[in-house]
Amino acid sequence: MAPAALPSGPIPSGNPGTLTTPEGLVLTVSASKESLDPVTALTNTPWSREYVVGGVFTGTVTGPGHSAVEGGVLEAGYQIGCGITQQDLHSISTAGITPGTGIPLVDGELIPVFSSATASEQLRIVLEPGRVNNVSVTRKEFEGDWARVSITGMRIRVDGCSGQSFIRSFATFTSSSDDNAAVVTYLGATRAV
């Protein structure tokens, strides 16, 4: 087997996601050092897609009173979209034989016995419209006003895809106080294969 392709380097990250609460707290969730590299899938077939991914995802709370926030959750993961999903593949082989006999005197044949054979093959491919799979790598629960998740050399995959496939990272940052919560999401740049 050929060795797995080495990560082909970082890709530009998307713009940070920001949210400003009425009290003036600013939630920022951003990413850096991202990589999304398509590699040969474990199954060695075109229907499975695999990517080696990595990145550093950071969520921070700034603004007045930021040190008083209780904490929250930073979830990081990947979304894989597939244009056409392949379901079943039917291969229907049919063979038949038709023995028969002519009615004597009517058809006038000398040997009134005959036989014929048939064979056919039919291929049926069942397709479905595309789907998006969410792969959550981690949900980091933290206390305080910042959190960071780093991912290195992780393989993310999708199976049964016969069209184009798309992948992008996401990070959802939640910050909670006693009575309120704020949620903001970062989406990375999309890579199509």
Partner 1 sequence: MLLRGLAGCLVLLATVASAPSGADPTEPPIPPAPAQPADPASAPAVPEAAPPPDTGVVASGPPGIAETADGRTLTAPAESETQLPVVPLTTALSTRGWMVGATFTGSTTDEVGGGTLEVGYQIGCGIEMNQIRLGGKTGASVNTSSISFPTQGAIDVRARPSTVTNAMVMKKDFKGTKTRVIVKDIHVRVDGCVGKSSLRSYAVLTSSTAHTEDIMAYYDVAMVF
Q: Does 136 bind partner 1 (CB under 8 A)?
A: no
Give me the phi and psi of 171, to 5 degrees please: -145, 125
Going by C-alpha positions, the residue among 171, 133, 164 that lies closest to residue 38 is 164
Q: Does 9 bind partner 1 (CB under 8 A)?
A: no
Q: Residue 153 CB, nearest distance to partner 1 (Å)?
A: 5
Binding to partner 1 by CB under 8 A, coded x per residue (else -) over 139-178, reads -x-xxx-xxxxxxxxxx-x-xx-x----------------
Q: Are strands 165-176 and 181-187 parallel, antiparallel or unpaired?
A: antiparallel
Q: What token pair was written down for 187? A: 């989406």
Q: What does each C-alpha distance from 31 to 15, 38, 64, 100 come to in angstroms? A: 8, 20, 24, 76
Q: SS3 for 58?
A: strand
Subset of 23-42 contacting partner 1 (CB under 8 A): 41-42
Beta carbon nearer to partner 1, 147 or 184: 147
Subset of 57-96 contacting partner 1 (CB under 8 A): 86-96
The span from the CA of 156 to the CA of 78, in Å, is 8
Q: Does 47 bind partner 1 (CB under 8 A)?
A: yes
Q: Residue 63 CB, nearest distance to partner 1 (Å)?
A: 18
- Candidates 7-15, 101-109, 172-180, 181-189; binding stretch for partner 1 (CB under 8 A): 101-109
* Whether the Cβ atoms of residue 165 and residue 192 lie closer than 8 Å to each other: yes
**Residues 6 or more apart in contact with residue 17 via CB below 8 angstroms:** 27, 28, 29, 30, 171, 173, 184, 185, 186, 187
Beta carbon nearer to partner 1, 140 or 168: 140
- Candidates 14-22, 44-52, 166-174, 175-183; binding stretch for partner 1 (CB under 8 A): 44-52
* Whether the Cβ atoms of residue 61 and residue 26 lie closer than 8 Å to each other: yes
Beta carbon nearer to partner 1, 88 or 179: 88
The footprint of partner 1 (CB under 8 A) covers 1, 3-4, 41-45, 47-48, 56, 86-103, 106-107, 112, 114, 118, 137-138, 140, 142-144, 146-155, 157, 159-160, 162
